[in-house]
Amino acid sequence: MKILHLLDIPWWSGLTSYAFDTIQAHQNLGIQVTLAISKDSIAYKKSKNLNCSILPIKGRKGFKALFNFVLISQEILKNKPDWIISHTGSTHWIALSLGLLFQIPIIRVRAISQKLKTHWINKMIYQKSSYIVTASENLRFECLNLVSSNYKNKIRTIYPKVVEEFIGHKGPQPNPANKHEKKIGIVARLDPVKGLFNFLKVAKIVQESYPEAEFQIAGPEENIPWHSLLNQAKTLGLKNLTYHGFLDSKSLVKFMNQCSMGLITSTGSEEVSRVLIEWMSLGKTVISTNVGSIPEILQDGKGGYLVQPNEPLKMAERIIQLFKNQNLLDEMGQFNWDLCKNKFNQERFCSEWKNLLG
């Protein structure tokens, strides 16, 4: 079997991460994969590690999209794929047009929190696709509201998987060896939607009860420079704050293992919350805002706690509650590890794609 994947966004996100996981799953199933990917993108640089055929394409705006149409047409004529999989809206119309022209079934993968366009053209494109695969039930319900009832069986949810560095452990990773250590971690790009200024407010409240508590941030600078967060921390009088920058997978596992618990303070997005699954797969309790697909995965009161966005006081109260009850903190971490072992492993991810593709 041959599959042509289409991906044209310039940045790295949950969408691109899910696309790469899907490609690797298809390769594990023995499928020959070609990836048409925007050359001027972070994903293009990372695609060299996929060990699949790469078709460099242009961006997605204006005449570049038309140029992509020609390049992808030539690729189809040359290699005759059995499926075309589109990972973005800007490649969906290309996939559908060429799929109809060459009689190739297409799949639209939706793994982004961006609001779904509801005009009649988009509705037609979705309904004429062979399948729609979503990374969460929240996204599936959004798609269900777009298409008519005759097409609802075409929409499937395939939850993301955890990479081997995280799920490969035989059991939950212990909290810091010194149980008196109180380390709270957050893994997020420095971007307003990730709620990092709220994270600082949470830290300040917690330190009033536990002055020794440490707060760790890992993630690349994007739309917020680190010095802006640092200045705000100084204004709040916050101590014991460390910024680690971007970490590769191996370093990230080490970072997360050293934390007592994980926090997610996002005010939106998180339709593919890879970091939530990573915290859980290491047996860590998570306190998170109630956004995106997170409520589908994190069970409130069992694997951690959910709070509404922009409520740092309530999040801080949950942290303090867990610091007072180490047994509960460990039990929640164990619950998360058990859940991830069964629900977010690579075998399950590959199996669901195999069943879909036939």
- pLDDT over 90 for what percent of the chain? 72
Q: Which runs of consecutive H residues, i.e. helices, occur in 219-325?
A: 226-236, 249-257, 274-281, 294-297, 312-323
Give the pLDDT of residue 270.
81
Give the pairing of strands 32-38 and 131-134: unpaired
Pick the CATH number of 165-343 from 2.40.50.180, 3.40.50.2000, 2.40.40.20, 3.40.50.300: 3.40.50.2000
Residue 210 has pLDDT above 80, yes or no: yes
Domains in the chain: boundaries: 2-158, 165-343
Average of per-residue pLDDT across 173-197: 82
Q: Do 2-158 and 165-343 fold alike per CATH?
A: yes
What value does the mean pLDDT of the chain take?
91
Q: Which two three-digit tokens encode residue 257? A: 């293992």
For residue 34, give the nearest of 5, 73, 1 by alpha carbon.
5
Q: How many CB atoms lie within 10 A of CB 224?
A: 16
Q: What is the DSSP letter of 124?
A: H
**Confidence grade of residue 167 (pLDDT, cut at 50, 70, 90):** low
**Confidence grade of residue 180 (pLDDT, cut at 50, 70, 90):** low
CA distance linking residue 212 with residue 215, whole number of Å = 10
CB burial of 240-276 (b: ≥16 within 10 Å; e: otherwise) equals bbebeeebeeeebbebbbbbbbbbbbbbebbbbbbbb
AA letter at 19: A
- pLDDT, tens only, 272-317: 788 999 999 999 999 999 998 899 999 999 999 999 999 999 999 9
- pLDDT, tens only, 252-277: 999 999 999 999 999 987 877 889 99
Average of per-residue pLDDT across 343-358: 92
CA distance linking residue 312 with residue 208, whole number of Å = 14
CA distance linking residue 240 with residue 183, whole number of Å = 10
CA distances from 280 to 256, 298, 326 (A): 10, 9, 17
Give the pLDDT of residue 177.
44
CA distances from 183 to 31, 129, 211 (A): 43, 47, 12
Is pLDDT larger for residue 170 or for residue 334? 334
Which residues are CB-contacts of 322 (< 8 A; sequence separation ≥ 6)? 261, 285, 287, 328, 329, 332
- pLDDT, tens only, 54-95: 999 988 777 888 899 999 999 999 999 999 999 999 999 999
Bridge partners of 221, per DSSP, are 190
CATH class of this structure's domain 2-158: alpha beta
